[in-house]
């Protein structure tokens, strides 16, 4: 499967040092083959590979991750991006009832979806109604009625015994009934064929024209593989649609269809169906689908953990330095710039008990001041930054001239630095931070 292929490809990268161009190219070739084998459409594969390659080549070598993890992270991020990033919500009409029409091949899961959506919408406080416009198969209306009963919503259907009705007429009358009975959402179930054919598409187009839906959802079986592209293209060019619903994700679908449909039609995937029961339904989560396509949930978790551990290490190292009184001016500048980025959090910090003095310091963190601090510190030699005690009068004059400030500014900064170092040391002792030497610092 795609997942297996990718796993083995990316496993090969593990343990190597730096990621070279050759590494990236070889990996890209393998991923390309794997995606094609998983029924992802060729143009989609091309776009995807190009993006991944570009990003892998331009990426800074991460300190937290090894090259293999880095590539996996990029592949995953690009997959999420193609699958749609954030999930889009249903478009509802300003003046109810909103009309949602379901279209797709026979057996895709439209009628089942009608029940699922109805139940889900009810749970959100809506009052949906179903309209049975599949008059093609004898039991299609009954099936929708059963589903409606389970979901606890009414079903509008043609009266039995009148022969085969006109689906367009039923759709129109259904909307009228919804208005009369004040349902705020109407779900229109339609007929499908095993393959795309003109009559079926004509009917869908006529229903769409008659009911002017706010959404046309293209319902597609995730198991149909390569055919997903052709079917989606036919529906896009025929009745047209505004969103996609993937069904049968409880099967062993490899996810290639999701990627193709999304990229080829440009329409977002809104929902995912994953079982026969009405509850087996959720809004579509691009991140979960990406992780399913990659089949590397464990590795993605590892990556997250590695990054978090790295951040924690950095923070601890900084705290250690602060607490041990070994803070240099370089660290000082870095801390100030970090605080500057934190903004409101810096204010919060100032409210901590025992951080009263720090509050005053934080209040002085205006931009111009920080720029000056930065200029002064940059005007120092590495030795001076490392050990500010050596900054005597002549050095202060040189630094002031070099960075375009007054000697008193340099004095201020150096004095404040020593104060801050003492204070941090004391605070570290009080809060029991690592590296602390107790209240005396
Ligand atoms: P329609 O022809 O598009 O209306 O499709 P149906 O709603 O009648 O579904 C066709 C078959 O697929 C039925 O047996 C459903 O129970 C089944 N089905 C629908 N959605 C799912 C799903 O998400 N998972 C599974 N396993 N079966 C589903
Ligand atoms: Mg049906």
C-alpha 282 to ligand 1 mean position (Å) = 15
Rounded-to-10 torsion of CA 22, 23, 27, 28: -40
- Is CATH 3.90.1150.10 correct for 2-85? no
pLDDT over 80 at 52, yes or no = yes
Q: Looking at the CA of 248, which ligand is closest?
A: 1
Is 368 within any annotated ligand binding site? no
Distance 170 CA to ligand 1 centre (A): 23
Closest-CA residue, ligand 1 atom 6, reads 109
At the top level of CATH, which class does the domain 98-284 belong to?
alpha beta
Q: Which of 86-95, 231-240, 314-323 has the highest mean pLDDT?
A: 231-240
Q: Extract long-range pairs of 9-16: CB within 8 Å, 24+ residues apart.
A: 9/34, 10/68, 10/71, 10/72, 10/75, 10/296, 10/299, 11/68, 13/67, 13/68, 13/71, 14/66, 14/68, 15/66, 15/68, 16/66, 16/67, 16/68
Mean local confidence (pLDDT), 44-49: 88
Q: Which of 39-43, 248-252, 365-369 has the lowest mean pLDDT?
A: 365-369
Buried b (16+ CB within 10 A) or exposed e, 89-126: ebebbeebbbbbbbbbbbebbbbbbbbbbbbbbeeeeb
> Ligand 1: which of 109, 221, 248 to mutate, judged by most atoms within 8 Å of the beta carbon?
109
pLDDT value, residue 427: 66
ipTM: 0.99
Q: Which of 153-162, 172-181, 251-260, 324-333 has the least mean pLDDT?
A: 324-333
Q: What percent of the chain has pLDDT over 90?
A: 41
Q: Which two tokens stand for residue 69?
A: 């993890």
How confident is the model over 142-161, as a mean pLDDT? Answer: 92
Q: Hey, where are the domains in the chain?
A: 2-85, 98-284, 324-431
249 close to 218: Cβ distance less than 8 angstroms: no
Q: Is the pLDDT of residue 349 over 60?
A: no
Mean pLDDT of 15-26: 66
What integer pLDDT is reported at residue 119 of this predicted model? 97
Confidence of residue 186 (pLDDT cuts 50, 70, 90): very high
CA of 111 relative to ligand 2 center, distance in Å? 4
Which of 22 and 162 is assigned the larger pLDDT?
22
pLDDT of 390 higher than 70: yes
Is the pLDDT score of 348 beyond 50?
Answer: no
Torsions phi, psi for 19 (to 5 deg): -80, 115
Classified by CATH at the fold level, domain 324-431 comes out as 434 Repressor (Amino-terminal Domain) (1.10.260)
Q: Can you give the pTM of this predicted structure?
A: 0.71
């Amino acid at each position: 499967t795609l997942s297996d292929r990718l796993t083995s490809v990316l496993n090969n990268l593990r343990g190597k040092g730096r990621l070279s161009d050759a590494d990236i190219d070889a990996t890209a070739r393998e991923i390309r083959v794997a995606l094609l084998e998983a029924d992802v459409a060729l143009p989609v594969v091309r776009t995807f590979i190009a993006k991944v390659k570009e990003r892998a080549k331009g990426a800074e070598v991460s300190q937290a991750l090894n090259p293999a993890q880095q590539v996996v992270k990029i592949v995953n991020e690009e997959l999420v991006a193609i699958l749609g990033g954030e999930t889009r919500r249903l478009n509802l009409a300003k003046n109810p009832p909103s009309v949602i029409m379901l279209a797709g091949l026979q057996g895709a899961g439209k009628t089942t979806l009608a029940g699922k959506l109805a139940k889900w919408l009810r749970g959100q406080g809506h009052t949906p109604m179903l309209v049975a416009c599949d008059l093609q198969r004898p039991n299609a209306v009954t099936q929708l009625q059963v589903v409606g009963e389970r979901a606890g919503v009414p079903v509008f259907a043609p009266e039995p015994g009148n022969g085969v009705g006109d689906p367009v007429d039923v759709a129109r009358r259904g909307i009228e009934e919804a208005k009369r009975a004040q349902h705020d959402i109407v779900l229109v179930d339609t007929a499908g064929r095993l393959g795309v054919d003109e009559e079926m598409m004509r009917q869908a187009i006529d229903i769409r024209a008659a009911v002017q839906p706010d959404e046309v959802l293209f319902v597609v079986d995730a198991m149909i593989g390569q055919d997903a592209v052709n079917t989606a293209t036919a529906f896009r060019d025929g009745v047209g649609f505004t969103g996609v619903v993937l069904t049968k994700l409880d099967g062993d679908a490899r996810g290639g269809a999701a990627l193709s449909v999304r990229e080829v039609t440009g329409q977002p995937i809104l929902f995912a169906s994953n079982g026969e029961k009405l509850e087996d339904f959720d809004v579509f989560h691009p991140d979960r689908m990406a992780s399913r396509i990659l089949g590397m949930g464990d590795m993605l978790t590892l990556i997250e953990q590695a990054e978090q551990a790295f951040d924690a290490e950095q923070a601890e190292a900084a705290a250690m330095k602060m607490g041990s009184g070994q803070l240099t001016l370089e660290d000082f500048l870095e801390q100030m710039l970090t605080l500057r980025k934190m903004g409101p959090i810096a204010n919060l910090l100032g409210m901590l008990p025992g951080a009263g003095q720090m509050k005053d310091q934080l209040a002085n963190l205006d931009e111009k001041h920080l720029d000056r601090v930065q200029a002064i510190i940059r005007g120092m030699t590495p030795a001076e930054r490392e050990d500010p005690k050596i900054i005597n009068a002549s050095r202060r004059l040189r630094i002031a001239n070099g960075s375009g400030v007054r000697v008193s500014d340099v004095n201020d900064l150096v004095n404040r630095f020593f104060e801050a170092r003492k204070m941090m040391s004391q605070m570290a002792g009080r809060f029991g931070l690592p590296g602390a030497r107790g209240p005396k610092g």
